A = this chain, B = another copy of it.
Amino acid sequence: MSTRIVITGGAGFLGTLLGRRLLESPVALCGAPAAEVGELILVDLLRPQEDLAGDPRVRAVVGELADSLGEVGEVDAVFHLAGVVSGAAEADFDLGMRTNLDGTRALLEYARGHRKAPVLVFSSSLAVFGNDPALPPLGAVDDDTLPRPQSSYGIQKLIGEQLVADYTRKGFVRGRSVRLMTVSVRPGKPNAAASSFLSGIIREPLAGERAVCPVPPDTPIALSSPRRTLDGLLRAAEVDDATWGSRTAMNLPALTTTPREMAEALDRVAGKGTSELIDWTDDPAVGAIVRSWPAEFRTPRAQALGLTAEKSFDDIVRDYLTDNPRARR
């Protein structure tokens, strides 16, 4: 028996990494024995990366999510990573509702139409948490902290979690929602996200380029590496229902650090003076956004599944260099 898996957002940064990992070794789903991936379907607005597109087990479905699902057929598991990011959902409210809410509903209806309810891992986000302007600042986030989203993206993710929970309770899917942390270090180019600098201040100096840190060096930040983020998504698909537990979304572990500690880790791993390529500035607009994110997570639920954060940012820098051999110039 081989397994059929679909990744929505399969041409994106995480979708690409997840696709590669799924093709590497057999995959266990919901406590069943591990099986080779026989077909991996990557749904995205863009074509998959070359290496994936060239794999005979990969099928690319290019187009809007809701329009593409008819071509996918029945699968054993769905990893739902597609969506518009927070800045875009904020700038264009209707686009965010259509893509993040209606897109997720279309996906759930597609899954509900299966003869056998598929495993469905939904990538939610720490953006469900936010500092409510009418309340004292949010402290450490626990497994049962009430989300009070302060962005359309966060609202849409929280709604997606609720839909996944109810479709699961009704037996339409076997859903698991995991809240992803800010991922650092992302390879590639800077993007428009307010969190972009959290990869840039490591990636660019390693490549011999200057980078800007727009917040004070001691701003607390919660991060997770790409590896640990994938671990969380895969573990969510893998465990049986009893081990997974509550249908409420699970926070993934995060390392709490600061840009100063990140720069120090960079110098320890890559050599003294590397961090001198960081320009320390103070952009109050970026700072306000960054400080609205929770900086500390206590995640006993994820830990009970064997998921942990990196112990130090040094490890994250080392992993980045291992996973991206051409990162350094």
Residues of chain B within 8 A (CB-CB) of A152 are: 166, 170
B169 close to A162 (CB less than 8 A): no
A248 at interface, CB cutoff 8 A: yes
Assembly CA distance A167 to B162 (angstroms): 18
A82 at interface, CB cutoff 8 A: no
Assembly CA distance A248 to B154 (angstroms): 13
Assembly CA distance A238 to B246 (angstroms): 38
| Interface size range on A against B | 20 to 34
A285 at interface, CB cutoff 8 A: no
Q: List which A138-153 residues lie within 8 A (CB) of chain B.
A: 144-150, 152
A247 at interface, CB cutoff 8 A: yes
Given A132-B248, A134-B245, verify A166-B170 contact (CB < 8 Å).
Answer: no
A166 close to B148 (CB less than 8 A): no
Residues of chain B within 8 A (CB-CB) of A158 are: 162
The 0/1 profile, CB within 8 Å of B marked 1, for residues 146-184 of chain A is: 111110100100110011011001100000000000000
Q: How far is the CB of A319 from chain B (nearest CB, A)?
A: 33
Given A135-B246, A248-B132, verify A155-B148 contact (CB < 8 Å).
Answer: no
A13 at interface, CB cutoff 8 A: no
Q: How far is the CB of A99 from chain B (nearest CB, A)?
A: 15
B155 close to A162 (CB less than 8 A): yes
The 0/1 profile, CB within 8 Å of B marked 1, for residues 114-142 of chain A is: 00000000000000000010110000000
Q: How far is the CB of A163 from chain B (nearest CB, A)?
A: 7
Assembly CA distance A134 to B247 (angstroms): 8
A149 close to B132 (CB less than 8 A): no
Listed A/B pairs (13) with beta-carbon separation below 8 Å: A93-B170, A132-B246, A132-B247, A132-B248, A134-B247, A135-B246, A146-B147, A148-B247, A149-B162, A149-B165, A155-B162, A155-B163, A159-B162
